[in-house]
Each structure stands twice: as structure tokens, then as C-alpha cells.
Amino acid sequence: MLTLNGEIGSFVIDPQGRSTFSMNMEPATLVFNEVALQKSNVVANAVGLYSFVPVGRYGRARMLGLGTPKYLLQGRKNCLTWNPKGTISMSADEIQAHPVEFMGTQCADDFFGKCFEYITGTGNQANDLFSTPEGNQMLGAALDNIYLGLGNSVFELATFGNDPLIAQSNAGNWWNKEYLTTGEWADFIDQQTSVGVTGHIPLIEAAKAEGLANFNVTLPSNNFSGALYTGSDITAEFDKVIAASKTRFRVLVKQRAQDNVVMAVTKSVFDAYKSHLIDTYGASGIPAAYLLVVDGEPVPGVLRYDGIPVVCMDEWTEHDEVLGINTHRILLTAKGNLSIAHDVASIDQFGGMGLRVEQSPILRDKGRIDMYTAFQVGAGIANTDFMVNASLVLTP
């Protein structure tokens, strides 16, 4: 058996002639912690919107919240009096991770007749993408795209898994035929509804349906038309959301120097706020407003309101475009309150395997490459008391 080991994994040819390429956990960890966020916006986690919770083999993440004791002092008592105060409260919640898997196949036939054919070998080696340095480089690039797709799929599932609007879009035939083929739409439904994960947005809408006051801030429907904000004062909506914070969260919001909170918004709200800044301050000749016109946001996709980062969540809009709906949302939350549970990043625990790429030695398979990985993923909100939601969903 021939084994070649490198920084990213090992390549093995066993006695039966089967070649196997195994990815180390470190690259898998990097992918699922970073690439998964690239779909939403790297900036979204640069400001700390998400937290990642390793779950290990048990598939369950427990989130604990420790309360800060208050009003601890009292008048001096005599030695026979014991009046303890300040018990630390603890809240506990759990995220159940659910098993998922990826199966992929790549045939050399897909490259025949195109310029890629010239990077493979000659003769029978034309079917062997490992046969040349160029073929190996192309496979490396292909693996990067596989990891990007896996990361994006994890994010889609953790954000919109089991969204009831998916079934409504399918039943009403609203979904975007220009954006997805029929096969892609079927794959989308399968991924988003066949796994037990309920994503962040459905969890938020469920809390709204339960009547939680901090999840039921009103966005007036007459201020929105289709995908656009048509009102005249978007900052008034921000103020309503901030004012709806529960007492403990309001204290956190006011600690602006700590930068403990994030305001995640849909593109309609973000664009309206950007226009507000330009229209209000650009006419006054304020240089920052002019630069906003010329250069865009200082940090792409992020503005600030009263010291709070306002992050444009473009993937929320992409989800709308897939379903054929228009959602408008302002979500004020403590940093890290949107949690994603997973088991692939536990490199210091059980040494689980990441993506495996295997090339068949059987002649009739003509160099076919199969890919497989399995892991667990889940989503949750760490503490609903530290979140405020204002949302409006417009369907056809």
C-alpha cells in the first residue's frame, strides 16, 4: 500500500489499486467556520452575529446563561443574623444537531471537448484527473468549490431550515424559475425540509407567532412596496426596535462602548438607511455623506446607527428571490445570539473525518471520482430575551 501524507491530508493506493484522498479535520474546520459565513457576509460575523457551538458525538449543544446578581449590599446585622443575597440565576437551553450527508460524483467526461481536456493525460490517462500536475491543481480548485458549496448549504439550513414559506411557495408555484431549474428547486426543498433543523428565521417567526412582545414590533405595510422601502423615516423604525428591548437587553444596548449588539436588516431597510444618510447629510456638504456616494460603505455591507452596527443580510434577500416573496426585517440582537451547532470542528475530541474523495480503479467507471462526508448541524437562539424582531412578509 502506497501512502503519501501532506499538510492537507493523505493520498492512499491500497493493495486492490483503489486510490483514496482523505482531508484532515483542520481544513474541514476552516471551511465550516469561515466559508459557511461567506454566503451571508464575512462582515456579518466580523461584528459577531453568529456563534459556533461544537457538539461532539452527542449531537446536542447546551447553552447556559448566567445572570449577574444585583443589589447585594444591606445594612450591618449582628452576628446571629444570616441573610444571604445575590443568588446567581442560570438559564439553560439546548440545540439538537441533526445528521446530514453529502454525496457527489465527478466524471472526466464532463471535461471532454472543452479546454479542460488538455490538462489531463494522454491515452487511457485522459480519464484520470490525478494523472497530471495540472489535473491535480484543477481538482484542488474543484474541492475549494465543493467546500464553499457545503459551507453555503450549512448556512442555508441553519438560517432557513423548515421555513413554512418554502411549502407555501411550492404549493403556490411562486418560486423563481429564472433563478433555479426544476432539479435545483427539488434539491433545495429536499435540503431545507427533509432534515430536522429549524433555522434561525423560522425560529424568530415562531417566537413572533407565540406573541412575544419583543418579536412583534410592527413594520407598517404602507411603508413597503414589493422589495422596496417607500416610507419617509427609516430611523423611526430603528428607534421602535430599540425601544422594544426587554429591560436586561436595553441595558446591554445602552453600553455602546462595549459594542455588544448587532442590528441585522434586509436589503430594503439597509438601502433606505443609506439613502437617508446621503439625502440628509449630503445636502449639507458633510464629507462622510459624499464619500458614501462615491466609495460606498466604509466597511461593505455595514453602517452604524447610534453606535450600533447595521449589517445588510443579502442572503435573506436571496432566499426571498428563490421563494418569490419579499421580506422586510430589522433584527436587533446580542452578539453571538444566533447559534450554529456542528460536530465537524471538534478536532481536539474524536478526530472525525472530513470530506473523502475517492477515485474508482474500475475500468467501466472511467476514472470517476466520488465524494462523501457526513456530519451534524443544528441552529438555535441562545436567548430570546436578548433579541428584538420587526418583520413584514409580503407574498404573491
Model confidence band, residue 165 (pLDDT cutoffs 50, 70, 90): very high
Residue 200 bridge partners (DSSP): none
Sequence-distant (≥ 6) Cβ neighbours of residue 291 within 8 angstroms = 298
Under the banding of pLDDT at 50, 70 and 90, the label for residue 136 is low
Q: Cell numbers for 239, please give them.
A: 428607534
Q: Residue 74 pLDDT > 90, yes or no?
A: no
Rg of the chain over CA atoms, in angstroms? 25
CA-to-CA distance for 134 and 154, rounded, in angstroms? 30
- Among 95-99, 252-256, 312-316, 372-376, name the most confident range: 312-316
Helix (H, G, I), strand (E, B) or coil at 34: helix
Arithmetic mean of pLDDT, 264-286:
86
Q: Are 276 and 223 in contact (CB under 8 A)?
A: no
Mean pLDDT of the region 104-108: 76
pLDDT digits (tens, 9 = 90+) for 321-340: 999 999 999 999 999 889 88
Q: Model confidence at 25, in pLDDT bands (50, 70, 90)?
A: very low
**Which residues fall within 8 angstroms of residue 143, CB to CB, at 6 or more apart?**
23, 355, 357
The one-letter amino acid code at 72 reads L
Q: Using the CB atoms, write b or e for 104-139: b if 16+ within 10 Å.
A: eebebeebeeeeeeebbbeeeebbbbbbbeebeebb
> Which three cell numbers mark 318?
436571496
> DSSP letter at 236?
H
Q: Kindly report, residue by residue over 284-330, the tens digit of the pLDDT.
A: 667 776 677 766 777 778 899 988 999 999 889 999 999 999 999 99
What is the CB neighbour count within 10 angstroms for residue 198?
Answer: 20
Q: Kindly report the pTM of this predicted structure.
A: 0.77
Between 94 and 105, the more confident residue is 105
Q: What are phi and psi of 34, to 5 degrees?
A: -115, -50
The whole-angstrom separation of Cα 259 and Cα 257 is 6
In angstroms, the CA 269 to CA 229 distance is 6
